[in-house]
Structure 1
Amino acid sequence: MNRLAGVTSPYLLQHADNPVDWWPWGPEAFEEARRRDVPVLLSVGYSACHWCHVMAHESFEDEAVAAVINEHFVAVKVDREERPDVDAVYMEAVQAATGQGGWPMTVFLTPDAEPFYFGTYFPPAPRHGMPSFPQILQGVRGAWAERRDEVGEVAGRIVADLSARSVSETLAKGGQVPPGPEDLASALLALTRDFDAVHGGFGGAPKFPPSMALEFLLRHHARTESEAALQMVQATAEAMARGGIYDQLGGGFARYAVDATWTVPHFEKMLYDNALLCRTYAHLWRVTGSDLARRVAVETADFMVRELRTEEGGFASALDADSDDGSGKHVEGAYYVWTPEQLRAVLGEKDAAVAAHYFGVTEEGTFEEGASVLQLPDTDDLVDAERIASIKERLRAARDSRPRPGRDDKVVAAWNGLAIAALAETGAYFDRPDLVQAATDAADLLVRVHMDWQARLHRTSRDGVAGANSGVLEDYADVAEGFLALASVTGEGVWVDFAGLFLDTVIVHFTAEDGTLYDTADDAEQLIRRPQDPTDNATPSGWTAAAGALLSYAALTGSGPHREAAERALGVVKALSGRAPRFIGWGLAVAEAALDGPREVAVVGPDGDPATRALHRAALLGTAPGAVVALGAPGSDEVPLLKDRPLVDGRPAAYVCRHFTCERPTTDPEELGEKLRG
């Protein structure tokens, strides 16, 4: 066992028995490199990463390769999900130098942590014009020994270039004000140009679920009644739900599709994708009443609770792409794919033929070696629902007997915040109190384990024990977002109070004098550059997530400083709205809310009163962009929005406000619903 044996990261533990003498990230590793006068080999990945496993098996488990690494380098292994700051800084360098990025990320550093050579996956032998990993090691070793001055100059130039990069130029183009209607219309036009009208989604292969752009389009439709916006959401949502990227037996989405048709996924399942998509489909149902959207939202919520919930009440990070194929071989997608022969073995000839047609399983296969990923072509009129339900139940039972994919069971604060919001709202919309309770349990865990006595967040925990890594901006922002959604559903104002504590930290420790936001706190570990990225990746950027949570908190409390911070943060969205809307989708969604108010809804009535419940449900189902809801008994001032809101003629009432200026209250749920249409 190497130095990773005592860590808590499941990804690092996967490498604990490598012959490579790995070090975890920390000053000790760089001191060792300085003492030995050797470069640092930095390898960054995550537990559900298929190519990380491939490179580990081909190179890091190889005794001869390990011997070279151990003699000539200090090897440092980083879980990008635990240290997104380290990942962001060096990925920026990789992308700047090579024009592309990905994981595993392989970077060679000086003992001062300055990068000088970059790459991602390297094969064990030369392949397709790509040098082998042993060749890379030999070349770097030679450069370090024979051309040290040149290495130092390269590293110095790279660090200087990274340090000079700033969002200030981008921000200057938009000012420090939120986007206006014209900016949001430009974003819609740009998305329309990039829309795949045949298969849904945006761009070509590989194709990622565009959760944040879809949320913007839903809000834009609510505000403007744009049918084009709604049609893009509906087409994309249906294509994904019917494609192989969605697990047709167990619910939940894979991380992305390798093709443009959503047919073949990269099979890992991430908590963040499923939380975001669960909420998107629930919001689509709220607008359209679509049965498909309802089914997918509920199935995805059930998948998260069933497959990712930990014993402590949080949610694990991911399920692996690979699993044992039954012969001892670790194969991507083995748990999920089917051949016609396998269908026949479980279902018999007649039902297997029905299932093959219903799920698109062919003799040629849609994946590898004659296997097919289950899809849902438009065959709803093929057979009766009971027969399909029986087929799915038998296939699920058979699949449950297969070796399961590994689970990365660390709890990431930010992604649990996203899950809390999704589960709370899905539970409220579809009368599933068990989902609301799951959201509450996860929130309790974040407070008990991830939050310290100064209201600072730890990014991760495992087995109920907090990890050593400090929370980054997205942790504070997404947890605040989840807590505010939970407060709207449960009426428990304590979640608003906790969100306020986290957002105060954002203002004090993550905000620059010019109003821009950093991904790390001012008292965090100093890297070669303090990361600052406002664009969305697989999740909302910490920057735009913070803007959304700040805006919602201000709407519930009337706080001017939080509103002003949100508006300053949205300046970068204005600058990017027409140029890169796919990569600022959450910011555009927040801008829609800011433009609409957002509307503030105070529901006042006795707890448990059917009339109170009816008004509360109508408030939650309102489609006004980013509307916030506060629920309380008469005389409650737990949330400032509730203060001085009396009953009307002794009956429960709802007040719809903007900037704490309210319309005439109503006691009629239907009238409230009309007030909260976009």
Structure 2
Amino acid sequence: MANRLASATSPYLQQHADNPVDWWEWGEEAFAEARRRDVPILLSVGYAACHWCHVMAHESFEDDEVARVLNANFVAVKVDREERPDVDAVYMNATTALTGHGGWPMTCALTPDGDPFFAGTYFPREQFLALLANITRVWTEQRPEVLASGAHIASRLREVAAPTAGSAISPDDLDAAVVTLRRQFDDARGGFVGAPKFPPSMVLEFLLRDHARTGSPDALAMASRTCEAMARGGMFDQLAGGFARYAVDADWVVPHFEKMLYDNAQLMRVYAHLWRATGDELARRIASETAEFVIRDLGTEAGGFASALDADTVVDGRSVEGLTYVWTPDELRGVLGDEDGTRAAELLSVTPQGTFEHGTSTLQLRRDPDDAQWWEQVRARLLVTRGERPQPARDDKVVTSWNGLAIAGLADAGVLLDRPDLVQAAVRCAEFVVGTHLVDGRLRRASRDGVVGSAAGVADDHGNLAEGLLALHQATGDVRWLDATTTVLDVALEHFVDADGVVHDTADDAEQLFARPRAITDNAEPSGTSSLAGAWLTAAALTGQTRYREAAERALESVAPLATREPRFGGWALSVAEAAVTGPLQVAVVGEGEGESADAMVAAARASSSPGLVVIHGQPDSPGQPLLEARPLVGGEPAAYVCRGFVCDAPVTTVDDLRRALGRS
């Protein structure tokens, strides 16, 4: 049996390389084999950090009997959803339509033409064997009905994917979205009602931008309360920094322990922006510690950032969730001694009964320690001991989209928190992604060990990378990031946007699936549509290219019906809309120096939380910098040029005058 997954760039696929199942990677070769053998496709989709994917792998895909049945009656295809989000998207739509819910692992039966005729998620071994037998029976005995069903499902999903007309998101729509969110807000615990609770990163960004535009106390209160609750609960790693994927409870106590790059990239930016808006030192600390986690624990040798740390830790061949992170009071006393251990248990909510499983507790920090120096010593000692435990595996593929989010987060946190090391990490990441993932002018989705994969970049790869490069351009003034951005955004305009201005997730020359995916909801990360809308809008402000702003406005119109009706699922679209109705607010600072000078004016400009703000700094007429053209020094001294809504003020030469100019509505 050929081991077709051994050389895959995906760690998830490599986890299955030694299964007795005769796996194929997604591609025409697999479908040709299904046609040749006249058998259906069994499609299994998951990702490396997925707990229940591991469970199904151990129960079924490592089992000889299951493998025998699969190999005899199917062509088995394994897909990493993070490497092929297009494949995941179309079959997840089918799974949701057929079952009413989705998730991973995803299990689908397809015709050799790729039409789905059965879909589900996790199946225990005996149910999975029964399912395989049933699919084999109906494929053999009821072939015409199966083919007709698959074709009908595919046709209906294509119809559902068709875009609906929308209109521009207005200030009134944004105000109404805040009201809707307020009704759904959990006052007691932060976040939004129900459990599990995922970090609402993009909604938090929208609330901060709305507060900046309107002064809404509700918007700021919801953002601040949620950020504090997440930071003080068990979802935040109180020892090493960084956030877990979500909390299984409404109080943010018990996390699902996987730590994803996309969450932490977005949250470091949100907390930095919250600190800018409020001066809250907790927000500043969490932004810094999250950035440090990303660099230390997800950084790769080549400069990019790995995708995730696993939810599970493997011990004696068993996957145990949370083993690395949880503690008992006795364990704390064993490391710290009786006095400090008891004191730490009280501070960190580690109880004899436990807050997790088997009498263990996650670590919470519901209040600031009375003695900061003592706490830092305790934290360091606990972290050393934790480092001696078995550690979760790392999914070390580098995904373009999520690295774009990391570049944006590091660049913003770096300039706002005065952390040049964070900006430098963003530069190193950008150099790797642009140098490796941009091949012959087209983006690829992912790389591993410095080698880029064959999967084509999708819309959110283009939008999120451009967002990051634009933030880095503003942080550094380096024109190469603006040049790279325009390359990426022009490709998106040419290949991802149809004649009606609708953004699709795949390029017009990409592999054609049974439906062309088009996500309009912001879930764990911005959708392709909203990510591109945001990048186009910022690029328009920095370059003066009206075609970018027009593309952004059309993209926002296409997602407006959903984003305004269900704001929890349109956080980034609403954030971009805040920028569209407020901006552009362009600040160009020319000259050098400190004190009452260029650097001080740049800092004052960056302190503004206006949603439509872009800031650029350099010498007059710097090549490739449209905002610096024809903007000289004033009396030989540094000057700031402010334009709001396509109207420009006279230049100012003092920080106070700049603040007054920025404060005018």
Matches of 1:628 and 1:571, distance apart in 2: 23
Unmatched 5+ residue regions in structure 2? none
Given the alignment of the two structures, is residue 516 of structure 1 paired with residue 528 of structure 2, yes or no?
no
Q: 1:97 maps to what in 2?
A: 98
The match for 2:578 is 592
Which deviates more, 423-432 or 534-543? 423-432
Are residue 636 (structure 1) and residue 637 (structure 2) matched? no
Letter in 2 for 1:9: S
> What's the offset of the Cα at 1:610?
7.4
Q: Deviations over 1:506-530 (max 9, x none)?
A: 1110001111100000000000000
Q: Distance in 1 between matches of 2:593 and 2:150?
A: 63
What's 1:488 paired with? 474
**Is 1:187 matched with 2:177?**
yes
CA contact (8 A) 2:20 2:62 kept: yes
Alignment map for 1:51-450 (pairs within 5 Å)? 51-125=52-126, 132-169=127-164, 172=165, 174-175=166-167, 178-325=168-315, 329-378=318-367, 380=368, 383-450=370-437
Tell me which amino acid in the other structure corresponds to 2:333: R
Q: Alignment partner for residue 519 of structure 2, among 533, 547, 550?
A: 533
Tell me if the contact between 2:596 and 2:654 (Cα under 8 Å) persists in the aligned partners.
Answer: no
Percent identity among equivalent residues? 59
- Cα deviation digits, residues 439-493 of structure 1 (max 9, x gap): 000100112101123x210111111111001100001111110000001010112
SS in 2 for 1:578: helix
Paired AA for residue 564 in structure 1:
E
Q: Residue 534 of structure 2 aligns to a residue in which SS?
A: helix
Residues 1:24 and 1:230: Cα distance change in structure 2 (over 3 Å) = same
**For residues 590-621 of structure 1, what are the alpha-carbon distances to aligned partners after superposition, in whole Å with 9 as ceiling and x for unaligned?**
00101111211111113789722111122222
Counterpart of 2:601 (choices 592, 615, 618) is 615
SS in structure 2 of the partner of residue 426 of structure 1? helix
Q: Is the 8 A contact 2:521 2:563 kept in 1?
A: no
CA positional deviation for 1:576: 2.5
Deviations 1:617-653 (A, max 9, x none): 2222211113111111123242111111111221111
Q: Does 1:601 align with 2:590?
A: no
Deviation at 1:660, TM superposition (A): 4.3
Mapping for residues 8-47 of structure 1, pairs under 5 Å? 8-47=9-48
Distance 1:500 1:352 in 2: 55
Partner of 1:48: 49
Deviations 1:399-453 (A, max 9, x none): 1111111001110001000000110111111221111111000100112101123
Query: Which residue matches 1:128?
Result: none
Q: Distance in 1 between matches of 2:263 and 2:656?
A: 34
- The RMSD of aligned alpha carbons is 1.4
* 1:190/1:578 contact within 8 Å kept: no
Q: Which runs of 4+ in 1 moved over 4 A?
A: 607-610
- Segments of structure 1 that go 5 or more residues without pairing to the other structure are 126-131
**1:151 aligned partner, one-letter code:** V
CA distance, structure 2, for counterparts of residue 196 and residue 99 of structure 1: 26
Change (3 A) 1:328 1:466: closer
The 3-state SS of whatever aligns with 2:396 is strand
Mapped partners of 2:308, 2:612: distance in 1: 28
- Paired residue type of 1:247: D
CA–CA separation in structure 1 for the residues paired with 2:67 and 2:152: 30
**Quick check: 2:594–2:600 contact (8 Å CA) kept in 1?**
no
Q: For residue 293 of structure 1, report the CA deviation from its aligned partner.
A: 0.3
* Paired residues for 1:651-670 under 5 Å: 651-670=637-656
Corresponding position of 2:566: 580
Deviation at 1:534, TM superposition (A): 1.4
**Preserved contact between residue 304 and residue 429 of structure 2 (Cα < 8 Å):** yes
In 2, the alpha carbon distance for the partners of 1:620 and 1:572 equals 31
Cα distance per residue 1:32-91 (max 9 Å; x no partner): 111111110000000000000000000000011111001111000000000000000000
User: For residue 644 of structure 1, what is the amino acid of its counterpart?
Assistant: A
CA–CA separation in structure 1 for the residues paired with 2:650 and 2:54: 61
CA deviations 1:146-172 (Å, max 9, x no partner) are 111111121011011011123532xx2
Contact 1:607/1:633 (8 A) holds in 2? no
Q: Distance in 1 between matches of 2:159 and 2:113?
A: 19
Q: Distance in 2 between matches of 1:118 and 1:166?
A: 18
Find the aligned partners of 2:161 and 2:40 in 1 and give their Cα distance: 28
